A = this chain, B = another copy of it.
Amino acid sequence: MTETREAFDIAKVRFDGAGLIAAVACDADTGEVLMVAWMNREALEKTLREGVVTYWSRSRGELWTKGLTSGHTQEVTEIRIDCDLDCVLLRVRQRGGACHNGFRSCFYRRIEGGSLVTDREKVFDDESVYKRP
């Protein structure tokens, strides 16, 4: 197909009342959804500039370059944005696992009837990586 181009103006990204947009990270090769987190304008600019993913941590109230603690960084291969300019889709090369519970993806459980079913294996030992007591 013929690609069409328009100017990208980050000022037009529709950050919400808290200054955030949702960011979905998926695996560069398989497309598997790994995690969903948040970005403010600074996090998006930093991610675009550096090519490794930085989110905004809502719980800590600070920029959060994924993998600084765990080594499980996300190298960006592509950034897409949705029709409404209020959500980004990151294709990433994920080192280790995206999930702080030790799984490749945060979505390691399906909802089935009245149950949560864990149907994925851990890919790293979260207790040692995050040095929990």
The interface of chain A, by Cβ under 8 A from chain B, is 1, 3-8, 22, 24, 26, 30-33, 35-36, 48, 78-84, 87-89, 99-101, 103, 106-111, 113-121
State the CA gap A114–B36 with chains docked (Å).
25
Chain A interface mostly helix, strand, loop or mixed?
strand
Distance to closest chain B CB from A101 (angstroms): 5
Q: How many of these chains are in the complex?
A: 2
- Name the one of B4, B8, B111, B117 contacting A114, with C-beta atoms under 8 angstroms: B8
Residues of B within 8 A of A116 (CB): 5-8, 81
State the CA gap A55–B13 with chains docked (Å).
22
Are A108 and B83 interface neighbours, CB within 8 A? yes
Residues of B within 8 A of A114 (CB): 7-8
State the CA gap A90–B1 with chains docked (Å).
29
Are A82 and B107 interface neighbours, CB within 8 A? yes
- Name the one of B31, B32, B33, B119 contacting A1, with C-beta atoms under 8 angstroms: B119
